[in-house]
Amino acid sequence: MRPSPEFLDALRDDGFCFVAADTMQAWLEDQGALEDWAAFRDSWNDLAPDRYLEKLGKQRRRRHAVYSLCSRGPAAGAAVRQAHQPHFQSLDYNALQGDIERWFEPILPAIGDSQSLHAILRHCQSLFGSLAPCVARWHVEVHQFRIEAQVDTPGQPTPEGMHRDGVDYVLVLLVDRENIARGTTSIHDMQGREVGAFTLTRPFDAALVDDARVFHGVTPVEAIDPALPSHRDVLVVTLRDAERTA
């Protein structure tokens, strides 16, 4: 099952769209088997604390990897993992932690090479490549995020607030959600007006974002039952034309 024109039209016309879990899962399965999805999902239990946010009194767990993703010819969709490198955003895009080379723990090799992740990357190339056919190769950053809500402290999926990432396109894919309330994604246009809002509640629910055209952010998350563990696990994939400087 490939994306229907309505989703491509929404991205072109509005700069974003929400994709329900059943649809997104079908899109990914069209790109390859998801037989290792359970192991892929469970790898969120082994993320490292975000030590940069710890300095600010905020908590988040994450891992990071960079890929080169071919968008043309017989190798289209082939993703090659690159040497581990820092995640960098300028202050123009991240007022909280901009102009800092942030070194996160790498995504584990078995997860970085997994069927599930490579199906996701092939899907990103197919979908976003159809919107930008002039791009020959994408610089791709993959982020595993776990946001935990503490007893008296909501979790902050986007502690930098409403923002852009400084890339071309963004996929936010919900992997798991346990004992969590709120966490609504909101989309704002370049004038700051809200143009969309939705909540990722089921595994495979996803947001697709044209980063050049809209801002996005997520409201804090709270534990439904403060006595039990709670988390919101997402995979964020960003794509930038490899010929364009960051």
Q: For position 191, which CATH number holds? A: 2.60.120.620
Q: Evaluate whether residue 246 is within a structural domain.
A: no
Q: Evaluate whether residue 132 is within a structural domain.
A: yes
* String of DSSP letters for 193-246: -EEEEEE--STT-EEEEETTT-EEEE--EEESSTTS--EEEEEEEEEEETTS--
Q: Are 82 and 74 in contact (CB under 8 A)?
A: no
Q: What is the DSSP letter of 36?
A: T
Backbone angles phi, psi at 150, to 5 degrees: -90, 170
Q: Evaluate whether residue 184 is within a structural domain.
A: yes
Q: Is 48 helix (H, G, I), strand (E, B) or coil?
A: strand
Domain that residue 70 falls in: 5-241
The pLDDT score that the predictor gives to residue 57 is 45
Q: Are 115 and 33 in contact (CB under 8 A)?
A: yes
**HSE of 163 in the Cβ direction (CA atoms, 13 Å)?**
21
Whole-model pTM: value is: 0.93
Q: Evaluate whether residue 66 is within a structural domain.
A: yes
Q: Are 172 and 184 in contact (CB under 8 A)?
A: no
Q: Evaluate whether residue 47 is within a structural domain.
A: yes
Residues for the chain: how many in total?
Answer: 246
Question: Residue 144 is which amino acid?
Answer: Q
pLDDT in tens, the chain (246 residues): 678 789 999 999 999 999 999 999 999 999 999 999 999 999 999 999 988 776 554 678 999 999 999 998 888 889 999 999 997 766 665 555 555 777 899 999 999 999 999 999 999 999 999 999 999 999 999 999 999 987 777 888 777 789 899 999 999 999 999 999 999 999 999 999 999 999 999 999 999 999 999 999 999 999 999 899 999 999 999 999 999 865
Q: How would you classify the pairing of strands 169-178 and 79-81? A: unpaired
Number of domains into which the chain is organized: 1
Q: Evaluate whether residue 117 is within a structural domain.
A: yes
Q: Evaluate whether residue 219 is within a structural domain.
A: yes
Q: Evaluate whether residue 24 is within a structural domain.
A: yes
